[in-house]
């Protein structure tokens, strides 16, 4: 799967680098990033729970039981991380209540929404491709401190970036081990790969919008007011 993702890696790396470029707009981009990633991360636990429930309804599928067990355990590990983003937003000067109430942009719905569809209407194994991309592109260990120094925001405003630089490395190893253990059919392997490629493309598009290389909102839609490498 990592080989299949290789062609998508340069675009995602370029979008990430542009998002975190050190210029006068970095503080506003960081706050926009927190808003967008809250929309992504608050869906993580419900999405894994939905996929685990689907696994429980597939007793004849040999993949379903180990996949469901992994998803339930991983959901617990991810629980509450959306609150980290709201706390980071508050420390960065944003209103966490407004962040929680705001309509997530279409780029977020595109990234997350496909996973709901595939989990509910195809096979929950596809969610592993989504998780592989998100946790396979963890923030660099030094990123939180660099952002704090460049923006002047308190170090406490970067908890999500700092924590995921550590957590996602271990999570990636666990997922790779699971993928090695699962006896996936060719169709299931394809579902994981399609999900992963879609996730890489959608995440690159989201970061490109946050980085200012594409509009963050459709024409006529209100943009969030500005305030002020990797993903959670």
User: How does pLDDT run along the chain (232 residues), one tens digit per residue?
Assistant: 677 777 888 999 999 999 999 999 999 999 999 999 999 999 999 999 999 999 999 999 999 999 999 999 999 999 999 999 999 999 999 999 999 999 999 999 999 999 999 999 999 999 999 999 998 888 889 999 999 999 999 999 999 999 988 876 767 888 989 999 999 999 999 999 999 999 999 999 999 999 995 544 443 444 443 333 455 5
Residue-level pLDDT at 215? 43
State the Cα angle at 29 between 137 and 101, rounded to 5°.
Answer: 90
Residue-level pLDDT at 8? 83
The closest alpha carbon to 84, from 163, 175, 153, belongs to: 163
- List CB contacts of 232: < 8 A, sequence separation 6 or more: 37, 40, 41, 81, 84, 85, 134, 139, 160, 161, 163, 164, 168
**First-residue to last-residue Cα distance in the chain:** 21
Residue-level pLDDT at 226? 36
Q: Kindly report the number of other CB atoms within 10 A of residue 35's CB atom.
A: 24
CB 54 within 8 A of CB 120: yes
Residue-level pLDDT at 99? 97
Q: Kindly report the number of other CB atoms within 10 A of residue 166's CB atom.
A: 12
Q: Cα separation of 202 and 167, whole Å? A: 22
Q: Cα separation of 20 and 64, whole Å? A: 39
Residue-level pLDDT at 232? 59
Total-model pTM: 0.88
10 Å CB burial of residue 107 (0-12, 13-18, 19+) is buried
Specify the length of the chain in residues: 232
Q: Cα separation of 90 and 153, whole Å? A: 11
Q: In the chain, at which residue ranges do the beta strands (DSSP E only) sit? A: none
Residue-level pLDDT at 3? 73
- List CB contacts of 133: < 8 A, sequence separation 6 or more: 5, 196, 199, 200, 203
DSSP 105: P
């Amino acid at each position: 799967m990592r080989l299949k993702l290789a062609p998508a890696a340069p675009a995602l790396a370029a979008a990430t680098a542009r998002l975190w470029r050190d210029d006068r707009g970095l503080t506003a981009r960081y706050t926009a990033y927190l808003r967008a990633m809250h929309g992504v991360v608050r869906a993580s636990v419900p999405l894994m729970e939905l996929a685990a429930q689907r696994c429980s309804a597939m007793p004849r599928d040999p993949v379903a039981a180990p996949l469901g067990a992994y998803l339930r355990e991983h959901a617990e590990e991810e629980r509450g991380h959306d609150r980290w983003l709201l706390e980071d937003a508050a420390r960065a000067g944003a209103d966490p209540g407004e962040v929680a109430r705001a309509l997530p942009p279409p780029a977020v719905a595109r990234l997350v929404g496909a996973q709901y569809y595939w989990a509910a209407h195809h096979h929950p194994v596809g969610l592993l491709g989504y998780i592989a991309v998100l946790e396979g592109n963890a923030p660099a260990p030094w990123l939180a401190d660099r952002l704090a120094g460049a923006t002047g925001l308190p170090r406490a405003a970067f908890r999500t970036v700092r924590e995921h630089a550590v957590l996602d490395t271990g999570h990636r190893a666990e997922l790779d081990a699971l993928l090695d253990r699962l006896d996936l059919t060719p169709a299931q392997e394809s579902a994981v790969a399609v999900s992963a490629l879609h996730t890489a493309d959608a995440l690159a598009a989201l970061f490109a919008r946050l980085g200012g290389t594409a509009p963050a909102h459709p024409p006529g839609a209100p943009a969030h007011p500005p305030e002020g490498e990797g993903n959670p």
